[in-house]
Amino acid sequence: MASSSTHAKQIMHSLLHFRVTLSTQDKFKIPNAFWAGLKAVGLTPGAVLRQSKLPLTLYDGEKNLVSTAQSFAIWRAVGELNDDPATGLKLARGIEVEHYHPATLAALHARTYRDALSRMARYKQLCCAEEMRLTEGKSECVIDFSWPFAKEPTPALLTDAAFAFVVELGRRGTKTKLQAKRIELKRAPGPAQHHEAFFMCPVKYRARRDAIMLQPADLDLPFVTHNAELIEMLTPLLDRQLAGRKTQEKIVDQVKWILKRLLSGSRPDIVLVAKELGMSGRTLQRRITDEGATFRQLLNEARQELVRQYLSDPSIEINETAFLLGYEDPNSFYRAFRTWEGTTPANWRSTHQAAMAQRN
């Protein structure tokens, strides 16, 4: 492993570069770790970009940014070029530490597994337009990921890689054969039990959600890779990047981002969203009004953008979509959807599926 001074140089270079390329929430630079990891699965950046029908200039190591839709296209291309069902797992495991994003380095050098996961979740948005959520209970810690700007289901390989990295981070930090408690996947089981082999735990397929569960006791495991000096240097820099991002963004965009993350079987109110933003409900209400919007309007917009993603996924029932958007009464959802799209959810889904089939 490289020395702390080497890591420091890598971090400073990455942060200075990141300060230049940071743009809107749905524009981000694909981490160098991804491109480097392709080698582990026998692919090259050029081949993947050609397969995804994206410009080869996206892999220039410096400036070019992608959207969520383009990122998903790249992950789909990886699966099309390599039909090994374990590709996502191998890609996450094959990334070398020297290619880690500064935020990931902060996680690897944390004090404990819990500290590492917390840092990973906190700084995730500095790497891409993705949210990582940790829900710690007495019997298990649930981790799931979401892409608030997605208009289609998350590619299976991307889900695999995200879950694999959660476990791989713990294994590298603790130097133990850490295993998950269980995995839930919405997809049907494949011919090989590669998930069971990698995560060393039961896997439930055709589940309602994609999630990875960890043993609560494992969260207290110390990281032998802990580096207090590196963390002391890195944390203020990452926090400033995070604060700068929030300062540059409109409050309405921040609210919609949080609403999309929290909308899952509940209806978050302005007080909860304000708490996520570190301010009072009254202050948030004033700032939303100053930008010419209302909280109710932002809630409806977040739901309208999310519903297209859910209806594009045939594994999600329409009534379940209503639940995921925080509607207690399905009829209220149907009325709102007709207002948004001018048709019923079932008609929208069938039309969308027909268009996708024709395109393919």
What is the pLDDT, as a whole number, of residue 142?
Answer: 94
Residues of the chain predicted below pLDDT 50: 1-5, 7-24
What is the pLDDT, as a whole number, of residue 5?
Answer: 46
- Helices within 175-227 (DSSP H only): 194-199
Type of residue found at 69: A
CATH superfamily of this structure's domain 251-359: Homeodomain-like (1.10.10.60)
What is the pLDDT, as a whole number, of residue 2?
Answer: 45
Q: Exposed, middle or buried: residue 317 (CB in 10 Å: 0-12, 13-18, 19+)? A: exposed
What is the pLDDT, as a whole number, of residue 16?
Answer: 40
Supply φ then ψ for residue 142, to 5 degrees: -100, 130
- Please report, for the chain, the start and end positions of each structural domain, with discontinuous segments joined by +: 4-233, 251-359
* Cα-to-chain-centroid distance, residue 343: 31
The SS3 of residue 213 is strand
What is the pLDDT, as a whole number, of residue 210?
Answer: 93
Tokens representing 342 are: 């001018």
Q: Exposed, middle or buried: residue 154 (CB in 10 Å: 0-12, 13-18, 19+)? A: buried
